Amino acid sequence: MKIHVQYFALLREQAQRSQEEVDTRATTPAVLFAELKERHAFSLAPGQLKVAINGEFGAWDQALAAGDTVVFIPPVAGG
């Protein structure tokens, strides 16, 4: 199924893009991230990230549906 992925900060730089359409068999953010980490050589481990699905914080084992937008959130540094 197709998942829309947006990238920010270090992940955006390492992916060399701010978003992409991914055609994947991953059914959870955890599996999806493993796939993308491999593809883009992300230096961050999942334990250092949070995940957002369709603009809201989600869980790593949450079921993904076709057309979902997923964001992996690196350690934040506001202020």
Partner 1 sequence: MPLAFAFSQQPIDTAAARDELLRDPAAGGYVSFEGWVREFNEGRQVLRLEYEAFEQLALKEGARIVEAALRRFPIRHAHCIHRVGSLDLGELAVWVGVSAEHRGEAFEACRFIIDEVKHRVPIWKKEYYRDGDSGWVNCEHCAAAPRHLHSH
Residues near partner 1, by CB under 8 A: 6, 8-10, 12, 43-45, 47-48, 50, 52, 55-57, 71, 73-79
Our CB check for partner 1 shows the closer of 25 and 78 to be 78
In angstroms, what CA-CA distances link 39 with 16, 54, 55, 58?
Answer: 12, 22, 24, 23
Closest by Cα among 78, 14, 75, 48 to 5: 14
Residue type, 14: Q
Our CB check for partner 1 shows the closer of 48 and 63 to be 48
Q: Cβ of residue 18: shortest distance to partner 1, in angstroms?
A: 10
